A and B are shown apart, each in its own frame.
Chain A
Amino acid sequence: MAVTIAKERWTSKVAEEAYGPQGLKVGGETTLPFLHFEGEIPNRAVTALEVFDTEPKDYPDILKEPFADVINDPVAWAKKVVEYGADMVALRLMSAHPDWNNASAQDVAKTAKAVADAIDVPLIVIGCGVEEKDGEILPVVAEALEGKKALIGCVTANNYKSITAAANGYGHYVIASSPLDINLCKQLNILINEMGLPLDRIAFDPLVGALGYGIEYAYSIMERARMGALTGDKTLATPIVAFIGQEAWKAKEAKDADVPEWGPQADRAILWEATTATTFAIAGANIFIMRHPESVKRFNAFVDEAMKSNAY
């Protein structure tokens, strides 16, 4: 007797967005991740490697090593991550942090412009993480990057107004960030959209946890958002950004060098980041912001396999 394959009938799709002057396409899927037999998955997951605009303070040695010669030069560092195969560059403007260099909006905008001009892949610009300061610097960065169709974040419930207005005016996309709460996530997308920025210019970061650090909770939120999007919730039907590196490299399993019973750090650290990314690819994320080039390589090897059609 023939087996009938159960297929879900989804009624909607995730918005397709195109970043950078290159028009790197992300999203557009009409089914859950890698279920090619059920719908279309026109674009593969994309990776970005992080570049700090000033020497990072919390990078373990193993993470500094691939960038040792460029760690004080964001432009050279950005070129290097493109060589390493990242689809995008994620520039983190930590120098603006009041506890770091407290750099001015003009200073960080200059760096952002220099980096954008030096690379031939789309740029993601991430603020220093202090909501108030990001609300000041990111509009200036958006202006400096006019025409670059960059992805700018993170926009939160407390600073979305100034950043959204600038992103809209200068033709960029925003990353809307909310703390592991699907209801707040949806509400923030709505608030941003109500300022006139179309939903297909928003990508959202629901906040992820690393393997062993709440990954299952973040997974279920992401999956829920995807199912909502595919059943017609337009306010959640935009690409998802996952800050993989930021979380994975906080884990002691990744950053602690001297724990021999856990095996060599070089193996487990990379595995920690790559496995965290793989997990969120299965949950529905589209844009993977990572830190180590080897993790990106391993993650891409997984995506290569998962993107082979299983349609029948």
Chain B
Amino acid sequence: MFEIIGERINGLFYDIRDAIANKDPKPVRDWAVKQAEAGAFWLDINTGPVAKKSEQAEIMAWLVKTAQEAVDLPCCIDTTNWEAMEEGLKVHKGKALINSTTAEQAKMDALFPMAANYGAAIVGLAMNEKGVPKSAEDRTALAMELVANADAYGISPVDLYIDPLVLPVNVAQEHGPECLEALRQVKLLSNPAPKTTVGLSNISQKAPNRPLINRTFLAMAMVCGLDSAVMDACDEELVDVAATASIILNQSIYCDSYLKIFRQK
């Protein structure tokens, strides 16, 4: 079943940034509820770019708690600050999703044990210190590093969400087919296969027609084996695309109410 990771609780958005500054739980709760009703499976939680590093841990814990008070959904804890990651995991109810590690050894050696320790799933980005590879093969090779290292820490591939990394189509057009091919190859790496995810809206950065590009890419990526995406859960037509693609791919059994059922968890 396709998993929508709702992107809206992020300090990048002004209402969430203000909520953090004023310790006002309402916008966080409202977005948790709105995204849950729209069909989100996970709530991405990100303190945003302006939160001071020293305060990020406390803010993350507050955001996770506030969101989970409003809805019964697990969170995707989205930060590069390991201390904030751990504080978020400590207060999280249920199975969290760590977002993210790369294939850099030092990061894997810090974050995989954290995932194992808290029983969390984890996103693994198919990149390392050299950056994002251009070819599908190089992305897949890094995905294999992630699968092997996760396994060594006792994390099953079904709890590892490989992100082959999406780049904006208007500046890095040649990455499109490589990213899609990498999705196909990642699903063949192990049995059970790793899960896959992407930051969907990256594909349309700074382009006109963003919703159209997002929708088209989502359908194409699902054909290639995309299992989840950090995306706008409240873009109704985008969610309709996910629901329809999952029906056409025979991932769920058709019924006339499938658009509605897809949104129910």
Contact = CB atoms under 8 A, between A and B. Distances in A.
Interface of A: 9, 182-184, 186-187, 190, 224-225, 228, 231-236
B13 interface: no
Contacts, number: 29
B158 interface: yes
The range of chain B's interface size is 10 to 19
A190 B253 contact: no
Most chain-A Cβ atoms within 10 A of its Cβ — which of B255, B256, B261? B255
A9 B157 CA distance: 12
A256 to B, nearest CB: 38
A182 B192 contact: no
A9 B255 contact: no
B257 interface: yes
A186 B262 CA distance: 13
Contacts of A9: 158, 192
Given A9-B158, A9-B192, A231-B1, A187 B253 contact: no
Given A228-B253, A231-B1, 15 more contacts: A9-B192, A183-B253, A183-B255, A184-B255, A186-B254, A186-B255, A187-B255, A187-B257, A190-B255, A228-B252, A233-B252, A233-B253, A234-B264, A235-B255, A236-B253
Contact of A235 (B1, B158, B261): B261
A233 B262 CA distance: 10
Nearest to B191: A6
A9 B257 CA distance: 28
Contact of B256 (A187, A225, A234): A187
10 contacts: A183-B254, A184-B255, A186-B253, A186-B254, A187-B257, A190-B255, A190-B257, A190-B261, A231-B1, A233-B252
Contacts of B254: 183, 186
B253 A232 contact: no
Nearest to B264: A234
Nearest 4 Cβ contacts at the A-B interface: A186-B255, A187-B255, A228-B253, A183-B254
Contacts of A231: 1
A235 B1 CA distance: 14
Contacts of B252: 228, 233
Contacts of B158: 9
A232 B261 contact: no
Nearest to A185: B255
Contacts of A224: 253
A141 to B, nearest CB: 29
A9 B195 CA distance: 14
A228 B255 CA distance: 13
Nearest to B253: A228
Contacts of B256: 183, 187
A234 B253 CA distance: 11
Contacts of B1: 231-232
B74 to A, nearest CB: 14
A228 B253 CA distance: 7
A184 B254 CA distance: 9
Most chain A CB within a 10 A radius of its CB, from B1, B158, B253: B253
Contacts of B253: 182-183, 186, 224-225, 228, 233, 236
A190 B255 CA distance: 9
B87 to A, nearest CB: 29
A236 B261 CA distance: 12
B72 to A, nearest CB: 15
Contacts of A234: 264
A73 B87 CA distance: 70
A139 B264 CA distance: 30
Contacts of B264: 234
Contacts of B257: 187, 190
A259 B187 CA distance: 57
A234 B264 CA distance: 10
Nearest to A6: B191
A208 B257 CA distance: 24
A33 to B, nearest CB: 19
Contacts of B261: 190, 235
A235 B254 CA distance: 11
A224 B255 CA distance: 14
A186 B192 CA distance: 28
A228 B247 CA distance: 13
